[in-house]
Amino acid sequence: MIRHASAALLLLLVAACASVHRPHAARDPSLLSTQPAPFGRTCHVLQEPAELPPAAALVDSVALRAAVRALRADQDAAGGYALLSLSYDRFGSNVRRTVIEHDLPRTTADSLQKLVFAHRRTLEPTETEWGVRLRLELGDEVRMRVGRQEYCEARPRDRTLHSPYDAMSARYQGPGTRDETVWIRVYLDPVGHVSGIRVERGMVSTALEHQLLNYVRALSFEPALADGMPVSGSTLVPVFVRRR
Give the HSE-up count for residue 19: Cα atoms under 13 Å, Cβ half-sphere.
Answer: 7
Q: Is residue 32, in this structure, part of any structural domain at all? A: no
How high is the pLDDT of residue 157? 82
Domain match, 66 and 104 both: yes
Which of residues 83, 114, 147 is at a domain's end? Answer: 147
Percent of the chain with pLDDT over 90: 55
Which of residues 107, 123, 147 is at a domain's end? Answer: 147
Q: Is residue 210, in this structure, part of any structural domain at all? A: yes
Range of the domain at 163: 8-24+152-243
**Stronger pLDDT, 78 or 87, i.e. the higher one:** 87
Domain match, 73 and 117 both: yes
Domain match, 91 and 168 both: no
How high is the pLDDT of residue 174? 53
Tens digit of each residue's pLDDT (9 = 90 or more) over 24-68:
557 899 999 989 888 888 899 999 999 999 999 999 999 999 999
Q: Is residue 225, in this structure, part of any structural domain at all? A: yes
How high is the pLDDT of residue 166? 37
Q: Is residue 41, in this structure, part of any structural domain at all? A: no
Question: Which CATH number covers residue 96?
Answer: 3.30.1150
Minimum mean pLDDT among 75-79, 92-96, 151-155, 222-226: which range? 75-79
How high is the pLDDT of residue 92? 95
Domain match, 63 and 124 both: yes
How high is the pLDDT of residue 171? 44
pLDDT, averaged across the chain: 82
Q: Mean pLDDT, to the nearest integer, of 195-214?
A: 83
Domain count, the chain: 2
For the chain, how big is the Rg over CA atoms in Å? Answer: 23
- The dihedral built from the CA positions of residue 153, 158, 159 and 161, taken in this order, carries a sign that is negative
Residue 206 has pLDDT above 50, yes or no: yes
Domain match, 143 and 159 both: no
Residue 210 has pLDDT above 90, yes or no: no
Which of residues 147, 165, 194 is at a domain's end? Answer: 147
Judge if pTM exceeds 0.85. no
Q: Mean pLDDT, to the nearest integer, of 100-122?
A: 95
Domain match, 201 and 158 both: yes
Q: For residue 90, how many other CB atoms are within 10 A of its CB?
A: 11
